[in-house]
Copies of this chain bind each other. A is one copy, B any other.
Amino acid sequence: MEDCDFNINIAVVGIGLIGGSYAMALRALNPKSIIGIDKDRKTLDYALHKGIIDRGYETGGRFLKEIDLVVIALYPKDTVEFVRNNIQNFKMKVLITDTSSVKRDVVNSIDAFLPDGMEFVSGHPMTGRESRGIEFASADIFIKANYIITPSNGNTSRGLKVIDIMARRIGCSNVTYVSPEEHDYAVAFTSQLPHAVAVSLMNSHEESSMDHIALFAGGSFRDATRVAQINSGLWSQLFIMNSDKLVNEIEKFQKTMDRLKTAIMYKNADTMNHIFQNAVRRRKILAKR
């Protein structure tokens, strides 16, 4: 596979919202073929019927010997297991990438057993959606998204370049390189903490009072709790794999919240205004990016 040539065989593992979107977006790069792997037969049939994939398998196997690029869109633990279980099946020069939203454990685990010659470049498209499943997949989710690549010692400049170019060709506007550690530090704050907050906001009142509360719940509450409709299985795994960093972020947030609480308790308008203006300045920077 040449650096800028995607005239290759690609496998996408996990044909849900993200995997399905990859398959759709990668089609525009004119690959030789796109193979879909998903344990759910109906999902494969749907993806075949829609032309999203050319062939479908319920699990890995010898057919992987033909595959140049493997894109894994599974939960982090399943990502590691898929690679581990298919070491014998992969092509000697295979390039593997993933989409997990925790990196340190995934990269360390795979690097520990991946044979020389095979390469794993870990990536994370910043493209979450509320919905799940192939029906909601769309090539558009990558348009102008940020794409994070977390290089490790096992990576070659060629491997990194292929994933970089892939990310740009499917529509991402920024490709950023950070260490797996730095990635996990950032997502603990920017993704896991807002999820933990949303869940805690919803749980701080009784379920029986929700009908009444709904009458008063305007945009601020609905926005802050949107992601409380959380995928339990995935997020308990993500929180556990990044436990140390997330706990650290929760504690920083709790301290900041305590300062505001004290200002409210003592009706200290000056401190409150100072706190608010700090938040406004930070949010403006975020709004620009």
B186 near A280: Cβ-Cβ < 8 Å: no
- Would A256 and B286 be within 8 Å (CB), given that A190-B216, A219-B128, A247-B264 are in contact? no
Contact mask A198-233 → B, CB, 8 Å, 1/0?
111111110100111111111111111111111011
Q: Name A106-161 residues within 8 Å CB distance of B.
A: 126-129, 146, 148
A267 near B240: Cβ-Cβ < 8 Å: yes
Decide if A257 is an interface residue (CB 8 Å cutoff). yes
- When distances are taken between beta carbons in the complex, the residues of chain B under 8 Å from A235 are 272, 276
CB distance from A140 to the nearest CB of B (A): 14
A261 near B276: Cβ-Cβ < 8 Å: no
- When distances are taken between beta carbons in the complex, the residues of chain B under 8 Å from A201 are 193-194, 197, 253, 256
CB distance from A217 to the nearest CB of B (A): 5
A220 near B195: Cβ-Cβ < 8 Å: yes
Contact mask A277-289 → B, CB, 8 Å, 1/0?
1111111111111
A285 near B148: Cβ-Cβ < 8 Å: no
B249 near A285: Cβ-Cβ < 8 Å: no
A212 near B191: Cβ-Cβ < 8 Å: no
A197 near B224: Cβ-Cβ < 8 Å: yes
A285 near B190: Cβ-Cβ < 8 Å: no
Decide if A254 is an interface residue (CB 8 Å cutoff). yes
Tell which of B127, B186, B250, B280 touches A264, judged by Cβ atoms closer than 8 Å: B250
- When distances are taken between beta carbons in the complex, the residues of chain B under 8 Å from A195 are 220
Tell which of B224, B251, B279 touches A202, judged by Cβ atoms closer than 8 Å: B279
Copies of this chain per assembly? 2
Decide if A246 is an interface residue (CB 8 Å cutoff). yes
A207 near B285: Cβ-Cβ < 8 Å: yes
B283 near A228: Cβ-Cβ < 8 Å: yes
Between-chain CB contacts (< 8 Å), 28 pairs: A126-B215, A190-B217, A190-B221, A191-B216, A193-B201, A194-B221, A196-B260, A197-B201, A198-B279, A199-B276, A200-B256, A200-B260, A202-B279, A203-B275, A204-B255, A207-B282, A213-B286, A214-B286, A217-B289, A229-B283, A229-B284, A230-B280, A232-B280, A233-B273, A239-B264, A240-B269, A243-B267, A251-B261
- Which residues of chain A have a CB within 8 Å of any CB of chain B? 126-129, 146, 148, 174, 176, 183, 186-187, 189-191, 193-205, 207, 210-230, 232-233, 235-237, 239-240, 243, 246-247, 249-257, 260-261, 264-265, 267, 269, 272-273, 275-289
